[in-house]
Structure 1
Amino acid sequence: MFSNMIIGRYMPGNSWIHRLDARTKLVLSIAFIFVIFFANNVIGYAVATIFTLLAIMLTGLGVRVFIRGVRPLILLMLITTLFQLFFVQTGDVLIHWWFIKITVDGVVNSIVVFVRFMLIIMFSTILTLTTQPLAVADGMESLLKPLKKMGLPVSELALMLSIALRFVPTLMDEAQSIMNAQRARGVRFNEGSLMTRIKSFVPLLIPLFVNAIKRAIELGDAMEARGYRGGDQRTKYRVLTWHRQDTVAIIGFIVFTVVLIATRWMM
């Protein structure tokens, strides 16, 4: 389950996407979350899907890697989709049994929400798969630098982000190890009713939470022992540099945004 999840993991490579500046990928990932809401018909979502698949191909990792990594989140997306299916009551009624009422608008909205979730997760995953955690933190710090004038502790926020991204894969590996140990003791995570499955995860969450707290304490002690001091006085070993391909990526995304907005009037 957790061993297949790729969110938060970095996969080394030398693809065109890998060589982009971290700031470019951060801006495009955040912008995509807002731009995707301009799609309001089949053509718009087709354009967004093609653009996402093209970006995935440029990573050199293959579409299968992304699909396999998103698979553990399918259940969460389906639950969110069901809310749209059962709670949207407008439009022609397709099924009406007891208190369950499924309408055309409910089906359409559920499909739209599922596609949006899938595209946003897959496009955002490109950032973590092709960018080292330290580069992501440096890029975030650089983008938030104007907020220093307002007293925002940008350096500390970047440190927190880099630590969080660094330990996401570690926590996933620990969760998988704990699950294997629980299976050896007879726990079955994929059997029984929904409530039974939820209860079976309680023995997993407690040791995982304890290990996370223990790891955080050890990390804090190690940083203090090495004389870590945050703030603007720290120099950086890796300096972010803007290249021509970053400009090309920004222009390409602007073209995609214009085309996506234009599709709103095609149907």
Structure 2
Amino acid sequence: MVAYSIIGQYVPTNSIIHRLDPRSKTIAVFVLAIVVFMAGNFPALLAMLGGAFVLAAITRIPARFFVRSLKPVLILVGFFFIFHLFFTQEGTELVSLGALTLYSGGVTKGLFVSLRILTLVLFASFLTLTTRTVDLTNGLEKLLSPLKRIKIPTSEFVLMMMIAMRYIPILMEETKRLSMAQAARGADITSGTILSRMKALNPLLLPLIVQSFKQAETMAQAMEARGYRMGAERTQIRLLTWKKADTWTLVFTGMIAAIILITRS
């Protein structure tokens, strides 16, 4: 059973983006995320979204993976669109539905916010989809290493964040397995009213919580058995190497950021 999660899952395809140093990819994604939030018009945002689709093609990750894994994200995107559609009262009046009135500003702002969230999720996903968890952990630890001088436990913070991200696809797979088991016992969580669906989720949530605690305990025991100690200095078997491609990646990212910021007004 394969869990399709766009965040926290590594898909090996040996593309040029996979071979980049995790530090350069982390910096590039961070810069692009800032640019996405600062893009102030539709042309700039659509250009960023188009760039995300180009990067998706370069990664060589199958398109069906993105289609399946983006379904939960599209639900969130749809929620923000509907929220702005009904509660943003700007522009000209389009339709009046009793107590609710739809305005042109609500449609425009809803589309803009939805596209911004979708673009941001795509850029963030490239970091985990193209980087092994171990390499990403080492890269983040290297980038945050200067904070150790002011007694910030960067190693523990990065490890905690990577474990949380890695458990997203694991929990999704466990949820799918439990829902199939409940469906085999006659439970129906796909039809009926919203209230009946929420009640039908009760037999699913408790086993999922129990299983999550068991997995966390198993991981803690495995880490202790391998000699993990908080604050201890650790060596790395996989050394990170900064190449010319990483430098050119940051240069190209900086150029894109400059162009978008200049034309964002």
* Cα gap change, 1:40 to 1:249, in 2 (>3 Å): same
- Shift in alpha-carbon separation, 1:41–1:6, aligned structure 2, 3 A: closer
CA 1:73/1:196 → structure 2, altered by over 3 Å: closer, same or farther?
Answer: farther
CA contact (8 A) 2:88 2:103 kept: yes
Q: Which residue of 2 aligns with 1:172?
A: 172
Are positions 1:147 and 2:159 aligned together?
no
Cα distance in structure 2, aligned partners of 1:6 and 1:97: 37
Whole-angstrom distance in 2 between the partners of 1:246 and 1:112: 31
**Following TM superposition, by how much is the alpha carbon of 1:232 offset from its aligned partner in structure 2, in angstroms?**
5.0
- The range that moved more, 10-19 or 186-195, is 186-195
CA distance in 2: counterparts of 1:43 and 1:236, whole angstroms: 44
**Unaligned 5+ runs, structure 1:** none
**Contact 2:141–2:155 under 8 Å retained in 1:** yes
Contact 1:92 1:103 in 2 (8 A): yes
- Residue 238 of structure 2 aligns with which residue? 238
Report the counterpart of residue 28 of structure 1 in structure 2. Answer: 28
Q: Can you give the 5+ residue segments of structure 2 that lack an aligned partner in the other structure? A: none
- Conserved in 2, the CA contact under 8 Å of 1:190 and 1:197? yes
Conserved 8 A contact 2:42-2:112: no
Number of aligned residue pairs: 265
Indicate conservation of the 8 Å contact 1:84/1:109, yes or no: yes
TM-score, with structure 2 as normaliser: 0.93
**Change in CA separation of 1:78 and 1:175 when aligned onto 2, cut-off 3 Å:** same
Structure 1, 145-154 or 166-175: larger mean CA deviation: 166-175
Distance 2:224 2:3 in 1: 32
Between 1:71-80 and 1:124-133, the stretch displaced more is 71-80
- Deviations along 1:72-107, one digit per CA (max 9) or x if unpaired, are 322122112211111111211112222212111111
* CA displacement at 1:63 relative to structure 2: 3.6
How many percent identity over aligned positions?
Answer: 36
1:257, distance to aligned residue in structure 2 (A) = 1.2
CA-based RMSD of the aligned residues comes to: 1.9
Q: In 2, Cα distance between the equivalents of 1:90 and 1:166? A: 41
Give CA-to-partner distance per residue, 1:11-36, whole Å, 9 cap, x none: 11210110011111112222222101
1:178-217 Cα offsets, whole Å, 9 max, x none, are 0110111112222112233333323222211111111111
